[in-house]
Amino acid sequence: MKKQHISDAVIRRLPRYYRYLDELHSRGVVRISSNTLGKRMGVTASQIRQDLSCFGEFGQQGYGYNIMELRSEIGRILGVDEPRRLILIGAGHLGHALLQSFDFAQGGFRLDTAFDVSSALIGTSINGVAVRSMDELDAYCAANRPAVAVLTIPKAAAQETADRLVALGVRGIWNFTNVELSAGDGVSIENVHFADSLLTLSYRIAKRPETEKESL
């Protein structure tokens, strides 16, 4: 496939396409037109065709897309079919919740070990994932070369831990610390900033004329 610059907006829509196609596939739908898919997703048919054209040719004029094929193509583009190793740093409340309920395998990630500094957690296992001491991180990374680390640790330790992970060869950081991390070229950081997200919602409801004040 020819390399070209693909915009951030397109990249962010890919997982949404994947999710919709996955849902349609699991409901037994076999084929869908870009019009119908667009209507469901709230984007235009031409947007979908344009987005997908960044990655090759999909669908057949007048016949729409074969859902299973398109889903697996997008999965391949997203890297879901290349299993990669992932570790989680910080098995506190949020780390624990992700270990218990998030399906890492569905994204093509293999997770067997989490790391923490708390002696109450070290040596335990959460949903089949072993919690080990941060002292064992270097040896684990040398032996297993994880591609991605999930960072669910307190703010204060965020940058220092990110630096350590990058030095150990981690290429992607899924960052829940609500701190803007810096990392060198060749390392991708994907932020989940809860506070930013809730404040965006706060803005949207604040701007709307209120018919009635909430009692507080």
Q: Where are the beta strands (DSSP E) in the chain?
A: 31-32, 65-66, 84-89, 109-110, 113-116, 125-126, 129-133, 148-151, 172-175, 188-191
- How many residues belong to the chain? 216
H or E segment to which residue 1 belongs: none
Part of the chain binding its own copies (CB under 8 A), chosen from 25-33, 65-73, 113-121, 171-179: 171-179
Q: Which residue of 38, 54, 102, 124 would you call a contact of its own copies, by CB under 8 A?
A: 102
Write down the least CB distance from residue 188 to its own copies, Å: 4
3-class state of residue 2 by DSSP: coil
Q: Which residue of 116, 151, 172, 177 would you call a contact of its own copies, by CB under 8 A?
A: 172
Inter-CA distances, 44 with 35, 49, 52, 102, Å: 7, 9, 13, 31
Write down the least CB distance from residue 3 to its own copies, Å: 9
Separation CA 66–CA 62 (nearest Å): 12
Please tell me whether residue 199 binds its own copies under the rule CB under 8 A: yes
**What part of residues 136-165 is at the interface with its own copies (CB under 8 A)?**
143-148
Part of the chain binding its own copies (CB under 8 A), chosen from 26-34, 46-54, 113-121, 188-196: 188-196
| Pair 166, 184: CB distance under 8 Å | yes
Separation CA 95–CA 115 (nearest Å): 10
Please tell me whether residue 82 binds its own copies under the rule CB under 8 A: yes
Please tell me whether residue 125 binds its own copies under the rule CB under 8 A: no
Please tell me whether residue 108 binds its own copies under the rule CB under 8 A: yes
By CB under 8 A, name the binding residues for its own copies.
11-12, 14-16, 18-20, 41, 77-80, 82-85, 92-94, 96-98, 100-104, 106-110, 143-148, 171-172, 174, 178, 180, 186, 188, 190, 192-208, 212, 214-216
